[in-house]
């Protein structure tokens, strides 16, 4: 079930219990000369597969059994894996080896930490949102305490720079001087263009034509930074289509090119690698929480499209089972409208962009086009680790509509003087439902994943101010 060159394969959930075909023999067969393969057709094995067993490992520091995420095959339970053309297998293996090697390389870590500190501006503040907290106090004065993890204050205005910097350094170690990336809201594109300018790398960004219209400011920023922005007109001309086109480019130019994938999606090792490069968010949050109130957060909240900002915050706390993890998806015009991007809420299991995960798909396994007012959440899939955390009940996932997100966009602007990204606004909007249910003094940390100047032109069309 490797993806074709389009790198878009969707398998309806009903097919997952059926026999799976092994295609390794097909690759071998078609590598032979025509005369050598005429006598007999390829041998195709057919085996019944079961869901992989969730593996546990011992945490040496705490002596507690914890989940292994991912396992040695790049799977989170049954999710994840490598559903890609054979052309990319060597590049993915090389990338995984380089990642593990550099994770133990003190010089690499020192260089990365220095850039995150002096160039990106880490650590980002954990800010007590006093007026937002007051807004959610009940009539008796009780309510949760709301803190914002200020990823919007990073250089380039979002969390995306954490991963982009690390992958650019990794690409340099691999000797790759041509960088490609996909982008939806433009923040990952801007972050990638920024690090390519910083390190002197060629940069090509694929972006859906529709997203280029609603994120014209970020398109200009990318071009100003020296990147070539290539419009993608296929499909709905949004993030899914930009990702597909970036993978096609990578297949064609794999020897010279590194693909800086911007989310915890795609084939292994990307979900693991991008998560680790964003894990600094959760690590800082744990440290800052101890300094501010002497304990862990009670609840973590983040928006989820592909899911990188959420996994960056959640990862540090997955084994702290007393900490609630809440991800918020885009309900668009409403869950019953058919115009939404609530993959974990309404999706079924399938394969897209090289990994098994929850997808928005029809009964034939064809992708259903998503909708969100937020370009960064307008994606029909989600990271495989989020799918895994949902299935084992470790994380909760809910959704809010475009209109609810717009109201939250305005609310935070007026209460705290912080204009959030429309992606972040989805997480903020869920506070309307969540906060009335929480005990007094609950410590809630919401990941403010990006700033909203990129979304002002979109908001102008809908908000009266």
Sort 464 into a burial class: Cβ within 10 Å, 0-12 / 13-18 / 19+: exposed
Among residues 204, 248, 195, 340, the alpha carbon closest in space to that of 7 is found at 248
What phi, psi does 349 have (nearest 5°)? -75, 135
53: cis peptide before it, omega within 30°? no
Whether 449 is a known active-site residue: answer yes
CA distances from 193 to 394, 440, 462 (A): 35, 44, 30
User: Beta strand pairing status for 202-208 and 178-183?
Assistant: parallel
Whether 43 is a known active-site residue: answer no
Among residues 106, 79, 111, 84, the alpha carbon closest in space to that of 95 is found at 84
CB burial readout 333-354, b (16+ within 10 A) else e: eeeeeebbbbbbbbbbbbbbbb
Computed on alpha carbons and rounded to an integer, the radius of gyration of the chain in Å comes to 22
Whether 25 is a known active-site residue: answer no
The catalytic position among 78, 82, 149, 160 is 160
Among residues 16, 52, 5, the alpha carbon closest in space to that of 359 is found at 16
Helices (H), 347-421: 384-391, 402-416
The catalytic position among 182, 284, 329, 348 is 182
With beta carbons less than 8 A apart as the criterion, state whether 398 and 430 touch: yes
- Catalytic site positions: 160, 182, 449
């Amino acid at each position: 079930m490797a993806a074709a060159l389009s790198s878009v394969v969707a398998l309806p959930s009903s097919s997952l219990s059926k026999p799976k075909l092994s295609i390794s023999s097909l690759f071998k067969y078609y590598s032979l000369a025509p005369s050598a393969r005429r006598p007999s057709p390829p041998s195709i094995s057919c085996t019944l597969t079961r869901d992989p067993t969730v593996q546990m490992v011992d945490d040496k520091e705490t002596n507690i059994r914890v989940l292994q995420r991912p396992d040695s095959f790049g799977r989170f339970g049954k999710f994840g894996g490598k559903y890609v053309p054979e052309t990319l297998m060597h590049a993915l293996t090389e990338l995984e080896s380089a990642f593990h090697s550099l994770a133990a390389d003190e010089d690499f870590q020192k260089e990365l930490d220095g850039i995150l500190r002096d160039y990106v501006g880490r650590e980002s503040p954990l800010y007590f949102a006093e007026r937002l907290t007051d807004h959610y106090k009940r009539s008796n004065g009780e309510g949760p305490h709301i803190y914002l993890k200020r990823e919007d204050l990073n250089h380039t205005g979002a969390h995306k720079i954490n991963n982009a910097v690390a992958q650019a350094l990794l690409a340099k170690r691999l000797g790759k001087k041509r960088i490609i990336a996909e982008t939806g809201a433009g923040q990952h594109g801007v972050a990638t263009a920024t690090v390519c300018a910083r390190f002197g790398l060629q940069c090509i960004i694929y972006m859906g034509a529709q997203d280029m219209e609603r994120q014209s400011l970020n398109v200009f920023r990318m071009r100003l930074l020296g990147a070539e922005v290539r419009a993608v007109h296929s499909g709905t001309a949004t993030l899914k289509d930009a990702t597909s086109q970036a993978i096609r480019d990578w297949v064609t130019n794999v020897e010279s090119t590194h693909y800086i994938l911007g989310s915890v999606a795609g084939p292994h090792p990307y979900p693991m690698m991008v998560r680790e490069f964003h894990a600094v968010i959760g690590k800082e949050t744990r440290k800052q929480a101890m300094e501010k109130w002497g304990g862990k957060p009670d609840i973590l909240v983040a928006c989820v499209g592909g899911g990188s900002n959420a996994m960056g915050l959640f990862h540090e706390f997955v084994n702290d089972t007393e900490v609630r993890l809440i991800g918020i998806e885009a309900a668009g015009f409403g869950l019953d409208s058919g115009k939404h991007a609530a993959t974990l809420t309404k999706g079924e299991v399938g394969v897209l962009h090289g990994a098994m995960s929850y997808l928005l798909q029809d009964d034939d396994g064809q992708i259903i086009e998503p909708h969100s007012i937020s370009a960064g959440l307008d994606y029909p899939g989600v990271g495989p680790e989020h799918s895994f955390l949902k299935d084992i009940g470790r994380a909760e996932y809910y959704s809010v509509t475009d209109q609810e997100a717009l109201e939250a966009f305005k609310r935070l602007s007026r209460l705290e003087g912080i204009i959030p990204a429309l992606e972040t606004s989805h997480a903020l909007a869920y506070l309307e439902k969540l906060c009335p249910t929480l005990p007094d003094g609950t410590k809630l940390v919401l990941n403010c994943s990006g700033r909203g100047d990129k979304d002002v032109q979109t908001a102008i069309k809908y908000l009266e101010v």
